[in-house]
A and B are shown apart, each in its own frame.
Chain A
Amino acid sequence: MPDLLNTSLTGMLAFQRALDLTGHNIANANTPGYSRQVAEFTARIGGGSGSTYVGGGTQISTIKRMYDALLVEQLRISATGQARFSALNNLAGRVDSLLADADTGLNTGLQNFFNTMQDVANDPAEIPTRQALLGEADGIANRFRSLDQRLDTLENEVNERLTLAVDDINRIASQIADVNDKIAVAGVGARPNDLLDRRDALVLELSGLVSVSTTIQDDGAMNVFVGSGQSLVLGTNVQRFGVRASEFDPTRVSVVYEGASGSTPLDTALSGGTLGGLLEFRSRVLDPSRQSLGQTAVAFVNQFNTQHNAGMDLRGNLGGDFFSIDPPRVLYSSNNTGGGTATAAIDDLGAFTGADYVLEFDGASYSLTRADNGQSIPLTGSGTAADPFLADGMSIEVGGAPAAGDRVMIRTGHNAAGTIENLISDPRSIALAAPTRAQSSLANIGDATVSQLTVVDAEDPALLTPAVIEFTSPTTYSINGAGNFTYTDGDPIVVNGTSVTINGVPAVGDQFTIEPNYGASGDNSNALLLNDVQSTGVLDGGAISIGESYGQLVASVGGTAHQIQSGLAAQNVVYTNAEEAVLSKSAVNLDEEAANLIRYQQAYQAAAQVVNVTKTLFDSLIAATSR
C-alpha cells in the first residue's frame, strides 16, 4: 500500500508542477520572445515484486522549451534586413521629398529666376524689373543654400543616430555577456529556459541594429560576431564599438571597433540593421546627392558668371561676378605627419564631377583616387602653380613638405551649394548689354551690312578699344588703318575679342566701327545669352545643362527611394513570415493552455482519488483486523 500512496503522490506532485508550468505559460502569453514550455512526463521505475514488475508513478523528466534554432536564425536575418530598409526608407524618403518638392526644390527657384531674366530682357532699362531679378537671384542662392543646409542637417542626424546605435549595440552586448554568465552558472543541464529566451530576445534586438552571427560555446555561452568577423561578445567578455571623428572630416562620425590592437574603422565592413542602413544611406544617397547638388551649383555659378563677365552694365562697366561660390574644399587627414599643403580649383566644367577625391603622397609622387569607389584618376601636370595637376576638371596645386603616406581629401561638390552668395545688390550693375556694338557708317556706299556681334574673349584687355574696319577694296579691308586682310562675305572678323560678321558687297572707303556699347540701356543681348545658361549643355562634356543636372539628381534619388521602398515592402513580408513561423512554433496558445489546465487538473484530481483509495484500502484493512 505505501507504494500506491507514493505513486499517487508522484502524480500529484508532477501534475501540480505541470499546472504551475501552464500558469507560467498563460502568464507569458504576451511576453515577446517567450518560448512556451512543455512538461515531459516519464514513468518512474518501481521496485520488483516477485515475477511482476510494477512502476513507481510518474515524474517530469524535462521542461522542454519549444524552440527552433533555424527559425530564430531566419527571424534574426530578416530583422536585420527590415531594420536596414526601414532606416534607409525613412531617410531617403526625406531627401526625395526635399529635392522634388516645389516649395523646397530647386526647379521652381531656377525657373522663376530665368523667367524674371526674360522679363528683364524684355525691358532691360527698367530698374524695378532689374530689382526683381536681384530678388530672384537672392532666392535662387537661398534655395541652393537651404537645400544644402537641409542635407547637412540630415548628415548630422545620421551622426547622432549612429552614435545612439553604437551605444545600443554596446549596451546589448553587455547584457548578452551578463546572461551568458548566468547561463554558465546555472549549468547547461539545468536548461535555464527563460534565460535562453532572454538572450535570444537580446540577440534579436541586436540584429535590428547590425548584422550579427553567433556560435554557442560548450558551456552554453553565446559568442556574437559582427562585420567582417569582429567579435562583439566572447563568453562573458565584451569588445566595445565606438564612434570617432572620421579621418578627414571632424564633423563626420565614423564607426570604429575598439579592439585589442587599437581602433579600426568599420564604416565599410558593417552592413544590415539600423547601423548598416544609416551608413548605407550616407554613402548611397546623402553623399551623392550633396555632390550632385554641389556640381549643379558650381556649374550654375561658373556659367552664369562667365556670361555675366561678358556683358556691360547700365553704367558702362563690364559685368562683375554675379554669384560667388567656394572653391573645392581641401581636408587634411588627421593622420598626416608632414606639412604638405594643397589647393584646388575648378578648371573644366565638362569634366567636373562634384565627387570627393583623396590625394596621397607616397614619398616621391602624388596619386589621386575617387573617395567613393576607389577609382584611380590619372594626374597630368606637376602640381606647381605654373603647371598644376589636372584631373576630372580640377586643377590641384601642392606645396609644403608632405611626409610619405600623407593624404588630403578634396571635396569638389560636397558643401559647394551651401556657399553660394549673390554678389550684386545694385540693379544697375546687372550686365544685360553686350560690351561692344558694331555700326556701319551712314556714309557707306556699298551694300554690306554688319551683324552677329559676339564677344569671343571678354577678357581681352583691348575689348573696349574702338576699332574701325575700313574697306580698301571690295575684297580687302584694314583694321584701324593697318593691315590688308582679305574679305570673304559672311566670314567672322575678330577684333579685340569681339567677332562681327559683314555680309554683302562693300565699296571702297566703307567703314564699320566696333565700339564700346556705352549708353545702350535698351540692349538685351547679354540678357538673352544669360538666359541660355539654363539650357546650355555644360556638364559631362557639354551634354548636360544645369536644369537637366538637377533633374537627374531628383530622378536618381527618386529611383533609389523607390527601390528602397519596394525593398522595405519585401523585407516586411519576409520578416512577418519569419515572425509567424517563430510564433507558431514557440508562442503560447491560450486554448491549448486552457485544455492543459483541464487535463492536468483532472489528472491531479484522479491522483488525489488514488490517495483516497489508499486510505479506503487501509481503512478496510484496519476494520478487518480490529474486530
Chain B
Amino acid sequence: MRISTQGAFLNGLQAMQRLQEALDYTQRQISSGRRILNPSDDPIGSARAIELREAISRLDQFDRNATIVNNRLSQEESALSSINNVIQRVRELALQANNATQSNESRGLIAIEMREHLENLVQLANQQDGNGSYLFSGNLEGTQPVARMGSSFTYNGDQGQRFIQIGEGRQVSDSDPGSSVFFQIRNGNGTFTALADPGNTGTGLIGAGSLVDPTVYDQDQYTVQFIDPNNYEVLDSLGGTVATASYQSGDTIAFRGIEFSLSGEPAAGDQFIVAPSRFQDMFSTIDKLATAVERTVNDSVSRVEMNNAINASLLDIDQALGNILDVRTQVGARLAATENQIDSNGSFKLTMQSTLADIQDLDYAEAISRLSLESTTLEAAQQSFIRTQQLSLFNYF
C-alpha cells in the first residue's frame, strides 16, 4: 500500500493520542481507586452501585435508629426494675402487716412507709427522659401521665406506642404507654374477685380462689349469702339461686366454674361478693392496701376484716408484679431483637460493601501492570515516530 507523508504522520500521531488517552484513563482510575470513572463505562454496574450505596446508607440509618431504641428500652427497663423493687417492698410490708403480732401502732408505721413508697411509685411513673419527655405517657410526651386526686389516680397519657424502624421491614416499639404498665391491671386473681361484705359480723376469712372451668364461668356477679352459720346459698346478679350448701370452716365454695376457700365462722346474713376482675391501677392498689393496714383492730371481727382486705390487696399486688414482669419480658425481648437486628444489619452491610467494592473498586495489581504496559507502548510509539519521521530522501540532497 502506498503511504503518503501526511498519512504516515497522522497515523503516528493518532496512535500516540490513543495511547495517551488510555494512559490517562488508567492514571485516573489509579488516582481515584475507582474502576468506573463515568457511569457510561459500566451502566449496569454503576446503577447497581447507586442502589448499594443507598442500601448501605439506609443500614447506617437503621443502626442509628437501633441505638436510640436500645437506649430508650434500657432506660425503660431500669425504670421498670425500680418500680418492681418498690412493689416488692410494699408486698413484704403487707405480709408483715398481716402478721397477728403487729399492733395498731406498728401497722400505722408500716402504712406510713407504704404511702411513701406510693409517692415514690407515682414519681417513677412520671419519670422524664433527658429531653423532658415523659417515659410512660404514650405519645403525649409533654403530658404528665399519672395524676393523683386524693386516693384516686388518673392516667392522662394516651395508649399510643411509638415504633422505630431498625431494619428493612422491621419495626420495634421503643416504649410502653403508662396505661398498659400501671393501669390496665386486672384485680383479684385476674379472673374474679371474692370480697367480704363490709357489713359482715362473722369472722369468715377468704382464702385463695381459682378458675376451675372457664367454659362454665359466665362473668356474672355472685353473692354467697349465709342463711345461718352452717348453710349458705349462692345468688346470681338477678337474685336467682345458683347453689345452696352446708358450710364448715375451711370448706371450698365452688359454683359456676370457680372456687375459693373460706374459713372461720361467718354469721347468719354475712355476704361474700364474687365479681369479674376489673382494671385497677397499681397506685390505687397500694393506696387501698395502706388504708387496710391502717385499720384499727380491736376484736376478732375487725381483725378478719383487715386480713380479708390485706389478702385481697396482696392478690392485686401480685397482679401488678405479674404485669411489670410481663412488660419487662417484652422490653427484654425487644432489646434482644434490636441487638440481633444490629448484628444482622452489620453482616448485611458487610456483604453489600464487599459487593460494592467488587463493582466499583479498582484492581490495583491489574491497573498498575496495565499502566506500565501502556507507558512502555507509548514510549515505543514516540521513539518509532521520531525515527520514521527522520527518514527522508531529502536528507541526501
The 8 A CB mask of B5-31 against A (1 = contact, 0 = none) is: 111001100100000000000000000
- A440 close to B219 (CB less than 8 A): no
Please indicate which of the listed interface residues B7, B41, B138, B278 has the most CB atoms of chain A within 10 Å of its own CB.
Answer: B7
Assess whether B179 is interfacial by the CB under 8 Å rule. yes
Assess whether B155 is interfacial by the CB under 8 Å rule. yes
Main SS at interface, chain A: helix
Assess whether B140 is interfacial by the CB under 8 Å rule. yes
For B64, list chain A residues within 8 Å (CB). Answer: 118-119, 122
Out of A442, A551, A586, A589, which one reaches B155, CB within 8 Å?
A442
For A520, list chain B residues within 8 Å (CB). Answer: 138-141, 158, 160
Assess whether B228 is interfacial by the CB under 8 Å rule. no
Assess whether A522 is interfacial by the CB under 8 Å rule. yes
- A583 close to B7 (CB less than 8 A): yes
Stretch from B44-52, B76-84, B286-294, B350-358 that touches the partner: B44-52
Assess whether B61 is interfacial by the CB under 8 Å rule. yes
Nearest to A89 among chain B residues (CB) is B40
* CB-CB nearest 5 A-B residue pairs: A587-B4, A558-B43, A522-B141, A561-B40, A583-B7
Q: Known A115-B57, A524-B163; judge A588-B5 contact (CB<8 A).
A: yes
- B164 close to A107 (CB less than 8 A): no
- A554 close to B184 (CB less than 8 A): no
- B159 close to A439 (CB less than 8 A): yes
Please indicate which of the listed interface residues B3, B42, B137 has the most CB atoms of chain A within 10 Å of its own CB.
Answer: B3
- A437 close to B139 (CB less than 8 A): yes
Assess whether B302 is interfacial by the CB under 8 Å rule. no
Out of A438, A440, A524, which one reaches B162, CB within 8 Å?
A524
Which B residues have a C-beta under 8 Å from some C-beta of A? 1-7, 10-11, 14, 38-44, 46-47, 50-51, 53-54, 57-58, 60-61, 64-65, 68, 131, 133, 137-143, 155, 158-160, 162-165, 171, 175, 179, 183-184, 219, 276-279, 281, 392-394, 397
- B163 close to A122 (CB less than 8 A): no
- B38 close to A97 (CB less than 8 A): yes
Residues A497-555 near B (CB distance < 8 A): 507, 517, 519-525, 528, 531, 547, 551, 554-555
Interface size counted on chain A using CB atoms at 8 A: 68
Out of A118, A124, A590, which one reaches B65, CB within 8 Å?
A118
The docked-state distance in angstroms from the alpha carbon of A565 to that of B25 is 14
The docked-state distance in angstroms from the alpha carbon of A590 to that of B158 is 97
Assess whether A580 is interfacial by the CB under 8 Å rule. yes
The docked-state distance in angstroms from the alpha carbon of A115 to that of B112 is 52
For A576, list chain B residues within 8 Å (CB). Answer: 14
- B57 close to A523 (CB less than 8 A): no
- B2 close to A442 (CB less than 8 A): no
Can you spell out 8 A-B residue pairs with CB atoms less than 8 angstroms apart?
A: A119-B61, A122-B64, A122-B65, A126-B131, A442-B179, A445-B219, A584-B2, A589-B4
Out of A29, A93, A555, A565, which one reaches B6, CB within 8 Å?
A29
Which A residues have a C-beta under 8 Å from some C-beta of B? 29-30, 36, 92-93, 96-97, 99-100, 102, 105, 107, 111, 115, 118-119, 121-126, 433, 437-440, 442-445, 450, 507, 517, 519-525, 528, 531, 547, 551, 554-555, 557-559, 561-562, 564-565, 576, 579-580, 583-591, 594-595
- B39 close to A97 (CB less than 8 A): yes
The docked-state distance in angstroms from the alpha carbon of A207 to that of B183 is 87
- Beyond known contacts A96-B40, A122-B64, A520-B139: 20 more, CB 8 A cutoff: A29-B6, A92-B40, A97-B39, A100-B39, A100-B46, A442-B155, A442-B179, A442-B184, A520-B158, A521-B133, A521-B141, A522-B137, A522-B138, A523-B139, A525-B160, A528-B171, A551-B47, A554-B46, A558-B46, A583-B10
The docked-state distance in angstroms from the alpha carbon of A455 to that of B272 is 48
Out of B3, B46, B179, B392, which one reaches A584, CB within 8 Å?
B3
Give the shortest distance, in Å, between A100 (CB) and chain B (any CB).
Answer: 4
Nearest to B164 among chain A residues (CB) is A122
Q: Known A554-B47, A594-B392; judge A588-B6 contact (CB<8 A).
A: yes
Out of A105, A433, A450, A585, which one reaches B2, CB within 8 Å?
A585
Main SS at interface, chain B: mixed
- A440 close to B139 (CB less than 8 A): no
Q: Known A29-B6, A523-B139; judge A118-B43 contact (CB<8 A).
A: no
- B65 close to A522 (CB less than 8 A): no
- A522 close to B133 (CB less than 8 A): yes
The docked-state distance in angstroms from the alpha carbon of A107 to that of B6 is 50
Q: Known A558-B47, A561-B40; judge A547-B54 contact (CB<8 A).
A: yes
For B158, list chain A residues within 8 Å (CB). Answer: 437, 439, 517, 520
- B46 close to A587 (CB less than 8 A): no
The docked-state distance in angstroms from the alpha carbon of A588 to that of B164 is 79
Please indicate which of the listed interface residues A118, A440, A559, A579 has the most CB atoms of chain B within 10 Å of its own CB.
Answer: A118
Out of B46, B133, B140, B393, which one reaches A595, CB within 8 Å?
B393
- A442 close to B183 (CB less than 8 A): yes
The docked-state distance in angstroms from the alpha carbon of A124 to that of B133 is 11
The docked-state distance in angstroms from the alpha carbon of A226 to that of B217 is 97
- B46 close to A589 (CB less than 8 A): no
The docked-state distance in angstroms from the alpha carbon of A524 to that of B281 is 27
Nearest to A558 among chain B residues (CB) is B43
The docked-state distance in angstroms from the alpha carbon of A80 to that of B185 is 85
Out of B41, B58, B278, which one reaches A111, CB within 8 Å?
B58
- B38 close to A93 (CB less than 8 A): yes
The docked-state distance in angstroms from the alpha carbon of A350 to that of B75 is 45
For A591, list chain B residues within 8 Å (CB). Answer: 5, 392-393
The docked-state distance in angstroms from the alpha carbon of A115 to that of B58 is 7
The docked-state distance in angstroms from the alpha carbon of A587 to that of B10 is 12
- B6 close to A583 (CB less than 8 A): yes
- B39 close to A443 (CB less than 8 A): no
For B10, list chain A residues within 8 Å (CB). Answer: 579-580, 583
For B42, list chain A residues within 8 Å (CB). Answer: 562
The docked-state distance in angstroms from the alpha carbon of A473 to that of B1 is 104
The docked-state distance in angstroms from the alpha carbon of A107 to that of B49 is 11
Nearest to B163 among chain A residues (CB) is A528
Out of A29, A100, A125, which one reaches B141, CB within 8 Å?
A125
Out of A99, A528, A584, which one reaches B1, CB within 8 Å?
A584
For A122, list chain B residues within 8 Å (CB). Answer: 64-65, 68, 164
For B43, list chain A residues within 8 Å (CB). Answer: 555, 558-559, 561-562
Please indicate which of the listed interface residues B131, B142, B158 has the most CB atoms of chain A within 10 Å of its own CB.
Answer: B158
Give the shortest distance, in Å, between B70 (CB) and chain A (any CB).
Answer: 12
- B54 close to A580 (CB less than 8 A): no
Q: Known A30-B6, A439-B158, A555-B43; judge A125-B133 contact (CB<8 A).
A: yes
